[in-house]
Amino acid sequence: MKDTGRRRWPRRGWALITGASSGIGLELARVMAADGWSLVVTARNETRLNELASELAEVHGASVEVIPADLSDPRGPSRLVSEVEARRLIVDVLVNNAGLGSYGPLLTSDLATELCSIDVNVRALTELSKWLLPGMVERGRGRILNVASTAAFQPGPGMAVYFATKAYVLHFSEALAHELKGTGVTVTALCPGVTASGFQERAHMENVRMVKGRKLPSSAEVARYGYQAMMRGTTVAIHGLVSRILAFSVRLTPRPLATAISSRIMAEG
């Protein structure tokens, strides 16, 4: 893109969406483009991002900037932000959606994949928030949508690292939302239950009881719900009535029992 030396202010503002190449992130991009946002979309799969950019430009007339990035790379988040700045885009909305998990006990799981999930789910999310928040607070407006999970509410034997990363996302979001009160910047933790996307296949959890044979809510449905919650400024948005009841009941359940129940649900069968 030609650098005119001037900052670009689109009608609705720019939203940066991580993990926009598939699943919930891709659907969030569709929902937000339809609602007038200009988008910076990022993930590793540049081909899919370019296809998405063409679709959103054609269907919604949206401005879409594609910036591929590997967020498991310690330099990934800062490079992404540098590129956003080089293109002189003012990001009013940050959607930290990129994430991954790995099914199986820690004893036998692949360490590189576990560490990658911590880097993407926790490190990159924290770093992107840290980089983009000062501008939002200075302008007195901004929104952060962090995609957590119902996994955030209890320990998850069989997927210990993933559940712990999502507990981090939930607690981080709640604390940050509190810190930012009165600044014009809101933080929302979206907590979907199991959702139809590429996630289960990537995590090798197709045979897990809570997934197998169940009709799962679509990524599009979850994205619409998350977007509306973010626009309302809701701090914790749990998708689905059953998930909301379970999240609440976990609070009243002794931790060892909650962990044992979670272990049963996470078993294959």
Ligand X SMILES: NC(=O)c1ccc[n+]([C@@H]2O[C@H](COP(=O)([O-])OP(=O)(O)OC[C@H]3O[C@@H](n4cnc5c(N)ncnc54)[C@H](OP(=O)(O)O)[C@@H]3O)[C@@H](O)[C@H]2O)c1
Q: Closer to ligand X at the Cβ: 10 or 198? A: 198
Measuring CA to CA, how many Å separate 128 from each of 121, 209, 224, 225?
11, 34, 23, 23
Positions of E strands within the chain: 14-18, 38-42, 64-66, 91-96, 142-147, 185-191, 236-238
Q: How far is the CB of 66 from ligand X (least distance, A)?
A: 11
Q: How far is the CB of 185 from ligand X (least distance, A)?
A: 21
Q: How far is the CB of 88 from ligand X (least distance, A)?
A: 23
Residue 168 annotated in active site: no
One of 103, 162, 168, 225 is an active-site residue; which one? Answer: 162
> Buried (b) or exposed (e) across 119-139, using 16+ Cβ within 10 A?
bbbbbbbbbbbebbbeebeee
Contacts with ligand X, residue ranges (CB under 6 A)? 19, 21-25, 43-45, 69-72, 97-100, 120, 147, 149, 192, 194-195, 197-199, 202, 219
> Buried (b) or exposed (e) across 174-202, using 16+ Cβ within 10 A?
bebbeebeeeebbbbbbbbbbbbbebbee
Q: Closer to ligand X at the Cβ: 31 or 137? A: 31
Q: Closer to ligand X at the Cβ: 218 or 253? A: 218
Q: How far is the CB of 72 from ligand X (least distance, A)?
A: 4
Q: Closer to ligand X at the Cβ: 67 or 185? A: 67
| Residues 125, 188, 241, 259, CA torsion sign | positive
Active centre residues (catalytic): 162
